[in-house]
Structures are given as C-alpha cells and as structure tokens.
Amino acid sequence: MAEIVLNVEVREKTGTGGARDSRRAGMVPGVLYGGAKDPVAIAVKSNEFRKALYTGKLLGHLVTLKYGAETQPVIAKAVDMHPVTDVPTHFDLYRVDANQQIKINVPLHFSHHDDAPGLKRGGTLNVVFHDVQVSCAADHIPEELVVDLTGLDIGSSVRVSDLKFPANVSAAIPVETVLATISGASAQADADDAADVAAGEAAVADAAAAATAAEEGGEA
C-alpha cells in the first residue's frame, strides 16, 4: 500500500467561503472525487499536508486517505500553490482501487550527460517533454523514467520507444513521440536565422498588401 497517509476531515461548507474558513483554521482545503460516488469537500491539517507534499511522493502517487476508522487508496491529482508564498492552498484527490489500471504522467530523468558525445562537443539537450503518460496499476506507478544519454551525438533524438519501462508499465502515448533532441550550436543558429527570414518576408508581404489596398482605395 501507499507510504503516505492523509488524515482528512469532511468540510461542511463548500465553495470559496468554505475553503477560506479552512485555511483560517490551519487546514488545506481539497476535493475527493472519482468513481461512482459524488465529490466530497475535505481538508487536511496544513503542517501534515506540507510534510507529505515535500516528501516528493504525494503528487501523482498512490496514497492512503484516512477518515476516522475508514481508509481508501487515492491518487493526488493536483496541488495549487500560492503564487507569492508558495504555500499549498488547495488539492484534488482521485478515488482508485489499488490494482486499478490508470493513466498517469511520470517524470523523466535525463542521465549520463557526460557520456553523450554531442554534449561534449558543445551540443545542446533540447527537452520536448519533461514527463510521459504511462498505463499501469495504481500501486505500481514508477517514481521516474530514466533517459540514458550515453552515446548520443548531435542530431540524435530520444523517442518513447527508447525508454525502458518497468514490468507491467507501458507507454500511453505513441512510441514514435520525440522526447528530446541534441542539436549543435550551428543548427540552432540556422533555425533562428530561418525564423528571422520568414518573419521578415511576412512583414514585407504585409506591407505590400497594405500599400496595394491603399492605392485601390484611392482610385475608388
């Protein structure tokens, strides 16, 4: 089962006012939803929630929700943070069965940068996706998926098909999806120059069209 347990309370008041009251009481408001049951407004003590959040094993992981003597497995789907204080202000939990097949995003970890010839020669690692959606049982969500950069040169691409998935875990997106590339400085410069030329040509075309429209208007 899950390593993290969230002791929740059911909130009697919902909406913005109810959430504000929970925060004033030192709680983080949230919502439990999913399955055949209706959504339930809940709250967790702020210090307990922050402790669970900062383990790095809350968001996107299977955790145990506890309400009195009742427990059930849930997935922490989202956590909202205050834009200034970076304090958690709201969270969403999703009901699941421990063995239920789910689709969830798992973070990517890029390793062995020093063993990539392309990076040694001054190339740049361009990350297209920082996570990948996978299909797996709720109690077998990987902590991360490792992208091994060993041997990759300038011009190389890393695709979903290059990843090594744990047993009973599979990609939920097309295997040809590009996750990252290694490009050289000259290739990036060429791409920037091409973009500048295209923008210039578009500006010239717009100016010509405007001039033509003005002339036609004067003739009319």
* Sheet-wide strand order for 124-127: 124-127, 178-183, 157-159
pLDDT in the model for residue 194: 53
Q: Give Dmax (Cα) for the chain.
A: 85
- Taking alpha carbons only, the member of 158, 157, 160, 180 closest to residue 172 is 160
- Which one-letter DSSP state was computed for residue 165? P
pLDDT at 1: 43
CA–CA dist 21, 11 (Å, integer): 10
Cβ–Cβ < 8 Å for 73, 34 = no
Cα separation, 96 vs 10, whole angstroms: 19
Closest CA to 103 of 135, 129, 128: 135
Token code pair at residue 1: 């089962």
**Taking a C-beta distance cutoff of 8 angstroms, is the pair 49, 91 a contact?**
yes
**Distance (Å, whole) CA 106 – CA 109:** 10
Each residue's pLDDT, cut to its tens digit, for the chain (220 residues) gives 457 899 999 998 888 888 889 999 999 999 999 877 899 999 999 999 999 999 888 888 889 999 988 899 999 888 999 999 989 999 999 999 888 899 999 999 999 999 999 999 999 999 999 999 999 998 889 989 999 999 999 999 999 999 999 999 999 999 999 999 999 865 444 555 555 656 666 665 665 555 554 454 444 4
- 3-state DSSP helix/strand/coil % of the chain, to nearest 5: 30, 40, 30
Q: Of 27, 60, 24, 216, which Cα lies nearest the Cα of 145?
A: 60
The answer to whether 165 and 144 are in contact (CB under 8 A) is no
Instruction: Quote the pTM value.
Output: 0.67
The pLDDT, as a whole number, for residue 99 is 83
Q: Which residues pair with 146 in a beta bridge?
A: 109
